[in-house]
């Protein structure tokens, strides 16, 4: 495949955008080469500026659960755009999507829409702090909750990909209120509660971690977090930016049958437009301005185009019979195929998967937390990435990201991908 036009576009972009991109992980720095510039996408495929067609396993980092340019979503946006693109005033649409989201997700009674997952998580911890009148939060190493200051401490995703899990610019004052724990280690969390009695406002966790590759919660981990929060008067925040409306209609809460106190959303809830949200029971949400003292606002929050896309997406998910079973079956089929090919080539690897989130780690030991995720062999990952790209399969350009499977993938597409893995595995 040729990337002449992408290279030219990247050179032009690099003159006016830092690193040529608007989000670091897009820049290909950890895998080398030139980022691919997308022209359009449809269903399971990306079409780049050089005329190449790629099977897409990133799907905009999660939102395109039903495939790119999904007709009901596109039509809803076009129809709304004709009526005006932003008002900074309430619309009936916001109530409609709120009511639908609340009906799909366990344990939430009110929802506030924002513009990104970063904003949702940032606002959720402010609300938790205001509600509990406590300052400290617990986050897990390798989890990523967007790029606001409190979370850029041992952060996963692009932050670890580019070697700055603790970003300069985050003040000591902010960092001291973020306590770090090891994912899947309840004793570690317990000892933080003991050492910080009545000071911890909340635990924030990705119920299935997706920013150090995919790392599933071990049996009892989420239940243990729930119990520790309840026992210590802290709130449990599930960051469901990736898992929300993806692992089940009700997200990880439904899948694992655990009710968090606050849930954050992004990605799927916007159907590919910039939407985030946070939600909780009334007692907590009524603490938010204008009802309560915790301030949070936004000119573009609840934007009509974004709400139209999100509503069309949620309606589809809500009425699409067998969607989550199909996603599970397709991803399980892909996992089995990849395992077969990597085994045949004698590659040492670990595959983690929950539903339609999956990642391949080039290390033979179980990947259960940030330290074990970091053991992966990045040279093998680079070869794997570029090999798949050559074969027409696009995975995230970082070993610390999850693949997101779309229902638009056919079994033919999956067989094509498995065959590509087979070819590439011979070269690792």
Residue nearer to ligand HOZ on the CB measure, 21 or 300: 21
Q: How far is the CB of 234 from ligand HOZ (least distance, A)?
A: 24
Q: What is the end-to-end Cα distance of the chain in Å, rounded?
A: 20
From residue 145, give the alpha-carbon distance in Å to each of 97, 105, 227: 23, 20, 22
Residue with tokens 């070269």: 427
Residue nearer to ligand HOZ on the CB measure, 212 or 414: 212
Residue nearer to ligand HOZ on the CB measure, 22 or 230: 22
Cβ 327 vs Cβ 404: under 8 Å: no
Q: How far is the CB of 276 from ligand HOZ (least distance, A)?
A: 11
The residues near 75 (Cβ < 8 Å, ≥ 6 apart) are 312
Catalytic member of 48, 56, 239, 261: 239
From residue 202, give the alpha-carbon distance in Å to each of 129, 223, 276: 8, 15, 20
Q: How far is the CB of 23 from ligand HOZ (least distance, A)?
A: 3
Residue nearer to ligand HOZ on the CB measure, 10 or 131: 10
Catalytic member of 57, 144, 183, 400: 144
Q: How far is the CB of 427 from ligand HOZ (least distance, A)?
A: 27
From residue 153, give the alpha-carbon distance in Å to each of 24, 131, 165, 276: 17, 23, 6, 22
Cβ 284 vs Cβ 261: under 8 Å: yes
Residue nearer to ligand HOZ on the CB measure, 35 or 67: 35
Alpha carbons 70 and 78: distance in angstroms, whole number:
12
Q: How far is the CB of 61 from ligand HOZ (least distance, A)?
A: 4
Residues of the shown chain interacting with ligand HOZ in the complex, contacts defined by CB under 6 A: 23, 25, 61, 144, 157-158, 211, 401
Q: How far is the CB of 367 from ligand HOZ (least distance, A)?
A: 16
Q: How far is the CB of 227 from ligand HOZ (least distance, A)?
A: 28
Residue nearer to ligand HOZ on the CB measure, 57 or 144: 144
Q: How far is the CB of 164 from ligand HOZ (least distance, A)?
A: 13
Q: Which residue is nearest to ligand HOZ (CB)?
A: 23
Q: How far is the CB of 19 from ligand HOZ (least distance, A)?
A: 12
Pairing of strands 235-239, 200-205: parallel
Is residue 239 among the annotated active site residues?
yes
Residue nearer to ligand HOZ on the CB measure, 37 or 61: 61
Catalytic member of 29, 267, 330, 374: 267
Alpha carbons 50 and 424: distance in angstroms, whole number:
23
Is residue 144 among the annotated active site residues?
yes
Residue nearer to ligand HOZ on the CB measure, 68 or 136: 68
Kindly list the catalytic residues: 144, 239, 267
């Amino acid at each position: 495949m040729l990337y002449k036009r992408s290279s030219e576009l990247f050179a032009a972009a690099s003159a006016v955008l830092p690193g040529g991109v608007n989000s670091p992980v897009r820049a290909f720095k950890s895998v080398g080469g030139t980022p691919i510039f997308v022209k359009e996408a449809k269903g399971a495929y990306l079409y780049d500026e050089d005329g190449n067609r790629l099977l897409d396993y990133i799907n905009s980092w999660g939102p395109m659960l039903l495939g790119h340019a999904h007709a009901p979503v596109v039509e809803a946006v076009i129809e709304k755009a004709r009526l005006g693109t932003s008002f900074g005033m309430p619309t009936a649409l916001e109530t409609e999507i709120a009511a639908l989201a609340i009906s799909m997700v366990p344990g939430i009674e009110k929802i506030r829409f924002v513009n990104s997952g970063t904003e949702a998580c940032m606002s959720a911890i402010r609300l938790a702090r205001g509600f509990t009148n406590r300052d400290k939060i617990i986050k897990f190493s390798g989890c990523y909750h967007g790029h606001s200051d409190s979370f850029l401490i041992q952060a996963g995703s692009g932050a670890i990909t580019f070697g700055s899990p603790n970003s300069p610019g985050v003040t000591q004052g902010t960092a001291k209120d973020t306590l770090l724990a090891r994912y899947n280690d309840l004793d570690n969390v317990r000892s933080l509660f003991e050492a910080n009695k009545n000071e911890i406002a909340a635990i924030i966790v990705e119920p299935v971690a997706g920013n150090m590759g995919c790392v599933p919660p071990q049996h009892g981990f989420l239940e243990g977090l729930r119990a520790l929060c309840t026992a210590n008067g802290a709130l449990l925040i599930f960051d469901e930016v990736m898992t929300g409306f993806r692992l089940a209609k009700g997200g990880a809460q439904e899948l694992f049958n655990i009710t968090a106190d606050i849930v954050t959303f992004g990605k799927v809830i916007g159907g590919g437009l910039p939407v985030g949200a946070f939600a909780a029971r009334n007692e907590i949400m009524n603490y938010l301005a204008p009802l309560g003292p915790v301030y949070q606002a936004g000119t573009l929050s609840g934007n009509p185009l974004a709400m139209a896309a999100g509503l069309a997406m949620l309606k589809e998910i809500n009425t699409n019979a067998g969607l989550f079973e199909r996603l599970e079956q397709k991803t399980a089929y892909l996992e089995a195929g990849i395992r077969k090919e990597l085994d045949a080539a004698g590659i040492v690897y670990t595959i983690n998967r929950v539903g339609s989130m999956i990642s391949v780690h080039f290390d033979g030991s179980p990947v259960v937390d940030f330290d074990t995720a970091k053991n992966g062999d990045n040279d093998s990952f680079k070869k794997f990435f570029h090999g798949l790209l050559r074969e027409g399969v696009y995975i995230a350009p970082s070993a610390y990201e999850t693949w997101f499977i779309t229902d638009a993938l056919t079994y033919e597409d999956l067989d094509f991908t498995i065959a590509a893995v087979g070819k590439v595995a011979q070269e690792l």
